[in-house]
Amino acid sequence: MGSDLYFKMDGFVEGQNEGKVFHGFFGRQGGVSHGIYSSLNCGPGSDDDPQAVRDNRRIVAQAAGCDVESLLSLHQVHGNACVTVDTLYDPYERPKADAHVTDQVGIALGVLTADCTPILFHGHKDNGAPVIGAAHAGWGGALKGASASVVEAMIALGASPESIVACIGPCISQASYEVSDDFLAPFTAEDADHKSFFIPSVRKGHMMFDLAGYNGLKARKAGVARVLIKELDTYFNEEDFFSYRRTTHRSEGDYGRQISVIKIN
């Protein structure tokens, strides 16, 4: 995957086709939803108009070069379970998992986020055939090893370990992600050096957490050969991204979800 996975076109964030694989991080612009869901809300778990969500997913599917039934997402539970997808399923009967992989042409793997980290994976078999994956990794999924689950599943499908690369998409940045001091404990219990992903906050008893950086380290420890990080803050950039934390701070009640997609052409 190249370094330009993310760019704007026609008012919304679109991906690109790169040979055998389409990949892209979509933002909040370019859809049909209104109000707090404006406008490319792709989350069926939100309280948005279900028809608007379907129409938004159709817009994304068209950009990815598939029909909307081929755009699959998950019932995300902030864990590390990874599903191997070999056939289409009802997009609204989603398995409970936070990652999925496939080697099948035409199946678009999507993950939904609103501050958590979307990670897209690409590798290939010895014969050059692509193997792809997508993970939703908030702090819980990252700590539990979501990236490692994807790498393991891709290798099980025949991907050469040295071929696997990953790109970390828009998520809440360290400058926006304040946590309490006790949040640090499970990360340093895993490795004392993980304290480097935390810096002091201006508020006593709090720190700022580098979620993207931590996910990058976890992906590399899982064996990913190359990791790209898109430094795009979902909390700060309200025009382009939905944010759970921003919505919570405003007591808005609900929030939209942007989608990140990868597909073998």
pLDDT tens sequence across 175-203: 999 999 999 999 999 999 999 999 999 99
Rounded Cα distance, 13 and 155, in Å: 30
pLDDT band (50, 70, 90) for residue 136: very high
- For residue 166, being part of any structural domain is answered with no
Q: State the residue range of the domain holding 67.
A: 7-161+233-264
- For residue 217, being part of any structural domain is answered with no
pLDDT value at residue 19? 62
Q: Residue 252 is inside which H or E element, if any?
A: none
- For residue 251, being part of any structural domain is answered with yes
Contact status, residue 42 vs residue 261, Cβ threshold 8 Å: no
- For residue 259, being part of any structural domain is answered with yes
- For residue 78, being part of any structural domain is answered with yes
Asked if residue 49 has pLDDT above 70, the reply is yes
> For the chain, how many structural domains are there in total?
1
Specify burial of residue 152 (Cβ count, 10 A radius: 0-12, 13-18, 19+): middle
- For residue 226, being part of any structural domain is answered with no
Rounded Cα distance, 134 and 122, in Å: 9
Mean pLDDT of the region 221-239: 95
pLDDT value at residue 242? 97
Strand 165-168 versus strand 226-229 pairing type = parallel
pLDDT tens sequence across 60-98: 999 999 999 999 999 999 999 999 999 999 877 899 999
pLDDT value at residue 184? 98
CATH of the domain at 45: 3.60.140.10
**Residue 130, strand partner residues:** 124
If you average pLDDT over every residue of the chain, what do you get?
A: 92
Rounded Cα distance, 157 and 248, in Å: 40
Rounded Cα distance, 99 and 120, in Å: 10
Contact status, residue 166 vs residue 120, Cβ threshold 8 Å: yes
Asked if residue 6 has pLDDT above 70, the reply is no
| Token representation of residue 22 | 């389409």
Rounded Cα distance, 5 and 230, in Å: 9
pLDDT value at residue 15? 47
Residue type, 46: S
Rounded Cα distance, 258 and 172, in Å: 13
pLDDT value at residue 9? 27
Residue type, 8: K
Asked if residue 18 has pLDDT above 70, the reply is no
| Cis omega (within 30 of 0) for bond into 147 | no
Could you count the other beta carbons within 10 Å of the beta carbon of residue 39?
A: 19
**Residue 134, strand partner residues:** 100, 120
pLDDT value at residue 64? 93
